[in-house]
Chain A
Amino acid sequence: MATSIGSSSGPPSHLSPSLVLLQSPTCKPISQGAEARVFKTYLSPPLPTAAAGFNAASPPQVSPILLKHRFKKAYRHEILDTALTKARVAGEARALLKCLRSGVNVPSILMVDAQEGMLGLEWIDGHSVRQLLPGGEEEEDDDPVTADSGEDPLTPYCIDADTITQLIGAQLAKLHKADIVHGDLTTSNMMVRRGRAGTEVVLIDFGLSFTSTLVEDKAVDLYVLERAFASTHPDSEPMFAKVLESYGKGLGQKEWGVVNKRLDEVRLRGRKRSMVG
């Protein structure tokens, strides 16, 4: 009863808790982009059994979280940097909540510290669609789906490529129905995991997302994904056609007609306009 649970001194008081979290020994870096670093860590480690009392019989499961840290940019004026970081953390969190409320599969939000640019999300245990579809696994991966066996990476998920593309289309339809545009759709920004009700596709990284009712924005969103498919997965046309088929079904005949027509236009002109010197 006399021993303490935590460390004797606690973390240094001049550091913000979110930054202390990044320095904890259980915190593992996952990836670094231009804007943010991503970590895997634990918000609340399990209590020592001695302290947990009668509940020790059934210790609650401790699950990891994903921390997305938008670090300070020294090139930006401090006031501008702080305001921008805050706004972006807030924007991403709001988009995720809107997705959750609209039934789009996205990670749930577990902590927000806008002041420090920190967003804590549910850890999605699975693989990216890029890793699971043919051709996507060529680059170095920390966590390859198949170590060296010639086994189909999809086997553990009891799912085939057709079903994945169909699930993607259904998620995108829900997303666009809620007037959310992802802004950076790639096969790396979609995860496949085994959920309670079978295998599901989860959309991730809403850092560039925004709200829009415009057909143009939704069509460009799809076009960006089409390009990503083409550059990552060989012979992607039939796969992407499946995505669109399922997307159309989810969106409804009338809406899909409009978006499809605009998608054709976007394909013709590309994402860019011509320009004046």
Chain B
Amino acid sequence: MPGLLQMRCQLTVQDRPHLALGLEGSANKLGVGVIRHELDGSATVLSNVRHTYITPPGEGFQPRDTALHHRHWALNVINDSLRTAGVSVHALDCICYTKGPGMGAPLQSVALVARTISLLYDKPLIGVNHCIGHIEMGREITGAKNPIVLYVSGGNTQVIAYSRQCYRIFGETLDIAVGNCLDRFARVINLSNDPSPGYNIEQEAKRGKRLVTLPYATKGMDVSLSGILTSVEALAYDKRFRQDGKPKGPEDTDIITPADLCFSLQETVFAMLVEITERAMAHVGSKEVLIVGGVGCNERLQEMMGIMAKERNGQVFATDERFCIDNGIMIAQAGLLAFRCGITTPLAKSTCTQRYRTDQVEVLWRS
């Protein structure tokens, strides 16, 4: 574009490898990781430890209990992470923590730990946007250069593209996040929260045969999911619904099983997500898709996205549960990138925020 100044990448050339500790606790996962940026520009994951707060079936996690969980496990997980990495706190260049978005109480308890370590060992502190963490870790692991990013988790559903120092949100949910939609439905049909409700929905869906009609709500590049949740919940109270998945007798053929509902929910919701991603790809002219966030490790979603990308002569990049699901290493990665551009968070500003949009972050480390 003429007349516009092309911003340069402000990442400094390293004279030595850098080390960062990342602390994540915006939802029910407490994650700690250590990353090292090598001289050749690559990154090495030295450790990536996670402890998840799992609630009984039918229950979600409450902010207060989740914060308690994080406080209780923080030191164990940090020690574990440092031990695995074989690194002492003294060797670290910076401490990175999740500033937001997320649940207030869990965010605060982890930020408190980060501040304490920072003061104890006199290490600079970096507050990281959780979504940026997902994107940067996904890019690092998969090697995707300039992908359209589909960020799908319990709290977020966004289609993102990078443009001029900013991850711009092209499309997003108009109401609830896709992970939230799946998790809440898992509670309705009493699926286990171990290892995660989303994983159990995915397994259940594999046995589903009947596609029931659910509302399909895309609006341009946005989606709406609450209506679908209402509809699929209603079907769980339908007279054709069999909780045990078995017909009552040989005559009982018109039935809906939990597997059918999981299957239908996934097929409908994922089709919507792939559709808005494709629209963004067509809009920007990109051929790469990167899926990040907890729902991103769903293999059916990856498969559907792969078919779409292939039809456009493109490619889909996805990571497995180690990096898709909330983790500390991604916070370390995004934090260290910012640190190497000269960004740190002074103690007085090391707050948390429940609302923190992806497009509010100035991305100085990309050109």
Contacts and interface: CB of A to CB of B under 8 A. Distances in A.
A274 interface: yes
Contacts, number: 67
Contacts of A196: none
A248 interface: no
Contacts of B197: none
Contacts of B103: 277
Q: Which range contains the number of B residues in contact with the other chain? A: 35 or more
Interface in B259-296: 267-268, 271, 274-275, 278-279, 281-283
Contacts of A276: 101, 155, 354-355
Contacts of A230: none
A77 interface: yes
The winner among A74, A79, A272, A276 for most chain B CB atoms within 10 A is A276
18 contacts: A33-B282, A34-B281, A35-B275, A74-B311, A75-B274, A76-B274, A77-B267, A183-B219, A184-B220, A208-B219, A272-B169, A275-B101, A275-B357, A276-B101, A277-B100, A277-B102, A277-B130, A277-B156
Which 6 pairs across A and B sit closest by C-beta, in order of nearness? A277-B101, A277-B102, A34-B282, A75-B307, A75-B304, A277-B155
A35 B103 CA distance: 37
Interface centre among A34, A208, A272 (most CB of B within 10 A): A34
B44 interface: no
A183 B220 contact: yes
A208 B267 contact: no
Interface of A: 33-35, 73-77, 79-80, 83-84, 183-184, 208, 272, 274-277
A184 B220 CA distance: 8
A272 B172 contact: yes
Interface of B: 26-27, 100-103, 130, 155-156, 169, 172, 211, 213, 216, 219-220, 267-268, 271, 274-275, 278-279, 281-283, 304-305, 307-308, 311, 354-357
B80 to A, nearest CB: 25
A77 B211 contact: yes
Given A277-B100, A277-B102, A277-B156, A75 B281 contact: no
Given A272-B172, A277-B100, 7 more contacts: A34-B279, A34-B281, A35-B275, A73-B271, A75-B305, A274-B357, A276-B355
Nearest to A78: B211
Contact of B308 (A73, A79, A80, A272): A73
A80 B357 contact: no
A35 B271 CA distance: 13
A75 B271 contact: yes
Given A34-B279, A77-B211, A80-B268, A277 B356 contact: yes
